[in-house]
Amino acid sequence: MPYYTFDLVVGEDVKPQGSIILENLHVASDRAVQLASELSQVKPELKARGCAVRVTDSDNNELYRTPLDPVPAWATA
């Protein structure tokens, strides 16, 4: 099973949030969305700063990124 690292991206700063072994990228991306949601509730000031949670592999390649403040579905309709 692959090893994934989760980071909080604030502008150019990258703040490690932890690493975990998961089944695949689909599971890791779901976990990133969950982490982004939790961070936006605990630290709402980050939402307005364009922050995101990114997922990288063991070679530090970015595989997925999700914003802390996603565009609501009604705004894209």
Query: Which pair of tokens denotes residue 50?
Result: 């364009």
Higher pLDDT, 8 or 47: 8
- The pLDDT tens digits of the residues spanning 9-34 come to 998 899 999 999 999 999 999 999 99
Higher pLDDT, 43 or 75: 43
φ/ψ of residue 31, rounded to 5: -65, -35
Q: Strands (DSSP E) along 1-77, which ranges?
A: 3-10, 13-21, 52-56, 62-67
